C-alpha cells in the first residue's frame, strides 16, 4: 500500500472495519465480501492491485442518536473500495443484495457511504494536517444484487458471468463529486477488479 492517502486511511480506520486481501494459489490477491444480512451471499473480487483499501462501511454505527433520519441519511452501503491503478484514483461505493430492492433504498445507502468517506477525508485533512488528503478521486456507485446463495465452506462449481453493468441515472443535485448514476450487476459470484472498474467507468 504505497499511496499516502491509503496509508493514512488505514491508520484512521480500525482493523475490524478493513477487509484485507488474501493471496491466491495462482498468484495475486482476492477478497470475499459478504452480504450484511446473510454470509451465504457473497462476491469474490479477484486481481486486486497493490494500492487498494477496502472499508466495511456498515461497521460505522448509524448516528440515529444525533440525526432524525428523516431523509434516510443514516443509511450506508456495505463497502468502500479505494484503489489507485494506472495513475487513476477511484473510490467505489458498493452495496451487496441477495434480493432485488427498490432503487430509492439503494440510492440512500450509496449516498450515506459517500458522506462517510467525506467525513473521513475531513478528519485526515485536519488531524493528519494533509490538506490534499483523498483529493482527486473519482467516485463511483455500484450495486451487486440477486447474488446466488453459496456456502462459503464449499468450492463453487458453477459461475454465471453476467458482467455487463446496467447504468441507472440519479438526480443531479449539483455536487461536483457526487455521482449522477449508479451501476447494477446481477447474479455475480466473482468478478475481476479491472472488469468491475471498466464496467463502471
Q: Which of 62, 76, 190 is nearest to 141 (CA)?
A: 76
Q: Cell digits for 14?
A: 480500525
Q: What is the pLDDT of residues 36-50, one digit of tens each?
A: 766 677 899 999 988
CA distance 71 to 77: 15
Nearest to 18 by CA among 26, 27, 9: 9
Helix segments in 22-136, DSSP class H: 103-127
Tell me the per-residue pLDDT of 73-124, one tens digit each, with 9 for 90 and over.
Answer: 999 999 999 999 878 999 999 999 888 888 999 999 999 999 999 999 999 9
Which residues does residue 185 pair with via DSSP β-bridges, in sequence order? 144
Contacts of residue 147, Cβ cutoff 8 Å, sequence gap at least 6: 35, 41, 42, 43, 96, 97, 98, 187, 188, 189
For the chain, give every domain's residue range: 4-199
The pLDDT of residue 197 is above 80: yes
pLDDT band at residue 158 under the 50/70/90 scheme = very low
**SS3 assignment, position 16:** helix
The pLDDT of residue 153: 57
CA 64 to chain centre: 22
pLDDT digits (tens, 9 = 90+) for 5-47: 999 999 999 999 999 999 988 888 999 998 776 667 789 999 9
Question: What's the whole-model pTM score?
Answer: 0.90
Amino acid at each position: 500500500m504505497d499511496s499516502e492517502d491509503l496509508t493514512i486511511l488505514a491508520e484512521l480506520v480500525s482493523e475490524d472495519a478493513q477487509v484485507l486481501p488474501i493471496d491466491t494459489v495462482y498468484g495475486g490477491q482476492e477478497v470475499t465480501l459478504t452480504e450484511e444480512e446473510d454470509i451465504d451471499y457473497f462476491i469474490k473480487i479477484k486481481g486486486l492491485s497493490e494500492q487498494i483499501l477496502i472499508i466495511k462501511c456498515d461497521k460505522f454505527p448509524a448516528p440515529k442518536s444525533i440525526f432524525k433520519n428523516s431523509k434516510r441519511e443514516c443509511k450506508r452501503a456495505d463497502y468502500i473500495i479505494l484503489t489507485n491503478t494506472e495513475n487513476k484514483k477511484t473510490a467505489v461505493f458498493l452495496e451487496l443484495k441477495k434480493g432485488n430492492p427498490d432503487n430509492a433504498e439503494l440510492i440512500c445507502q450509496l449516498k450515506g457511504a459517500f458522506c462517510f468517506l467525506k467525513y473521513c477525508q475531513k478528519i485526515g485533512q485536519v488531524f493528519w494536517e494533509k490538506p490534499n488528503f483523498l483529493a482527486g478521486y473519482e467516485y463511483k456507485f455500484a450495486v451487486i444484487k440477486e447474488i446466488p446463495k453459496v456456502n462459503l465452506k464449499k468450492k463453487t462449481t458453477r459461475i454465471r458471468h453476467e458482467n455487463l453493468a446496467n447504468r441507472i441515472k440519479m438526480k443531479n443535485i449539483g455536487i461536483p463529486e457526487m455521482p449522477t448514476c449508479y451501476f447494477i450487476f446481477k447474479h455475480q459470484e466473482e468478478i475481476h477488479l479491472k472488469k468491475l472498474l471498466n464496467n463502471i467507468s
